[in-house]
Amino acid sequence: MECKDIIRFFVVQIYFQKYFNMSHKAGFVSIIGKPNVGKSTLMNALVGEKLSIITPKAQTTRHRILGIVNEDDFQIVFSDTPGIIKPLYGLQDSMMSAVKGALSDADLILFVTDINEKHDENDVLEKITNTTIPLVVLLNKIDNATQEQVDEKFAYWQEKLNPLHIYAISALHKYNLEGILPMILANIPEHAAYYDKEDLTDRSQRFFVSEIIREKIFNNYQKEIPYSTEVVVTSFKEEESKGGPMVRITAEIIVERDSQKNILIGKGGAMLKKVGMEARKDIEKFLETKVFLETFVKVLPDWRSKKNYLKSFGYEN
């Protein structure tokens, strides 16, 4: 959106609110928690679209991703964030910077915790215990939990955080989510929309294409391969073909060592071909058009710890 369009948009918002006494709510809602507790699944469920990639592995989300819910009288801007950890290298430092940014501008915090979690929560508590931002606890993955477990966790988090509300939910099965949006609307301020009402996210198509490819890598490889990998879309061209419109995409898969490159490619290129085929199908669904996808593997030694590489890949400092 150009600057003049942005100005016109906000002038119209102010005009209607002032002269027709129309109230409009808008606010930022940050979803935080430890890795693999279901934050991305929750945001996708609340927004109604798959914006964040989901895998069974921890630390899948690396960026802050916005998902925007729009209606005539409100706009909710959700932030999906990386799982909170103690960072060990540059990439993880950047991931925690994304969490810090999401907390700094939040009007409301949704703290997601796996009801079966048994690990230490101090990393999260350090970030949210002293905040003045309203906080809601979501006990996720209650599918196989007993009522006794739910009651125990309710009491634990009530004592620890004294939140506005505690909900027992299953983000995966969309269980008990119906009360969350009304609760959010009750706790965000009256404000003009921050984004165009047609926007669903702040990220580009290229970003989501790279995330889809990265999701397939997480699903197809084990051990250090997914965590040592970055995906960069180097070319994204819309063109006409004999079969109609199509998008021709070239992507580089970045790894840190030659041994990782060999594993990623696989014998005779079989593994890389599998990843490409799976990614292409999902990219076609996302873009709603035919896609031609080429992938190449490139070695950048120790890229996860080098600030120049991290900055070029779009990570926060």
> What's the mean pLDDT when you consider all of the chain?
90
Q: How far apart are CA 38 and CA 55, in angstroms?
A: 10
Q: Is the predicted pLDDT of residue 230 greater than 70, yes or no?
A: yes
Q: Is residue 132 part of a domain?
A: yes
292 and 164 within one domain: no
Q: Is residue 213 part of a domain?
A: yes
Tokens of 130: 């002293």
200 falls in which pLDDT band (50, 70, 90)?
Answer: very high
Q: How far apart are CA 130 and CA 8, in angstroms?
A: 39
Q: Is residue 193 part of a domain?
A: no
Q: Is the predicted pLDDT of residue 3 greater than 60, yes or no?
A: no
Q: Is the predicted pLDDT of residue 68 greater than 90, yes or no?
A: yes
Q: Residue holding tokens 């926060």?
A: 316
Pairing of strands 74-80, 108-114: unpaired
**Residues spanned by the domain of 233:** 205-312
Domain termination site, one of 186, 214, 249:
186
CATH number for the domain spanning 256: value is 3.30.300.20
pLDDT tens-digit series, residues 300-310: 999 999 999 99
CATH number for the domain spanning 68: value is 3.40.50.300
Q: Is residue 196 part of a domain?
A: no
Q: Is residue 255 part of a domain?
A: yes
Q: Is residue 191 part of a domain?
A: no
Number of neighbours of residue 268 by Cβ within 10 angstroms: 8
Q: How far apart are CA 210 and CA 190, in angstroms?
A: 36
Q: Tell if the pTM clears 0.75, that is, is over it.
A: yes
Nearest to 108 by CA among 81, 82, 132: 132
pLDDT tens-digit series, residues 255-280: 999 999 999 999 999 999 999 999 99
166 and 18 within one domain: yes
159 and 130 within one domain: yes
Q: Is the predicted pLDDT of residue 45 greater than 90, yes or no?
A: yes
287 and 238 within one domain: yes
Count structural domains, the chain: 2
220 and 174 within one domain: no
Q: How far apart are CA 230 and CA 251, in angstroms?
A: 10
Q: How far apart are CA 145 and CA 56, in angstroms?
A: 19
94 and 126 within one domain: yes
71 and 105 within one domain: yes
Domain termination site, one of 186, 213, 231:
186
